[in-house]
Amino acid sequence: MINPLNKLNAPDPAVTIRRILKVNHAGEFGAIRIYGAQILVARRLFPDIVPALQEMREDEIEHCTLFHDAMPARSAKPCRVMSLWSLGGYVLGFLTALGGRTMVWICTEAVESTVHRHLEDQLAFLLTKDPSLHALIASIQEQELAHLRKAEDNQRRRGLRHALLMPIVGGLTESMIWLSTWGDSSRMRAEMARVKKT
């Protein structure tokens, strides 16, 4: 039996959808900045990986545009702290690139792993609530998973740097997601968890 109070307390799905678009658009913008900084350093220190980084950056630019274009129909607006994503992404990309090509791939793996978890939650939520956005995110997830596999394939071994950097970059990514939505991402995740249980 459905408790009518649950319906009263449940957030409006349209609000959660706007939060999804806001955080995804901001995340793609941050990824563009990470890759941009890594490319800048890699051109001087290890030019052999520049084509792969450029290809992934082009994917992120396309994703950012797709999320931005999906916003007006759902009354969504870009994140209020895009400058934080810009600076944070650039600094993260620059510092990891200075650490060498392995650090670049660890950074990509950490970011894409975090993104993948968020996209999985979003897809479960959107399946019946916004099929067109579900389809868009599913297609983007395929490319993000390709980036993750590329990062994993380009690491010969997983040593101390991997063990240390993965949780740091993953934690920074989670923090940026939380900050960019002023905590909306936590509420959004709780709402999506409720939907999964029903």
CA nearest to 93, candidates 43, 24, 152, 144: 43
Given CA atoms 42, 46, 48, 49 in this order, what sign does their dihedral have? negative
Model pLDDT for residues 62-80, shown as the tens digit of each residue:
999 999 999 999 999 998 8
Give the chain's domains with CATH numbers: 12-197 (1.20.1260)
Model pLDDT for residues 111-160, shown as the tens digit of each residue:
999 888 889 888 988 999 999 999 999 999 999 999 999 999 998 778 88
Distance CA 151, CA 148 (A): 5
- Cβ–Cβ < 8 Å for 103, 180: no
Name every residue whose Cβ is closer than 8 Å to that of residue 100 and which is 6 or more positions away in sequence.
45, 46
- Look up tokens 């389809």; give the residue: 135
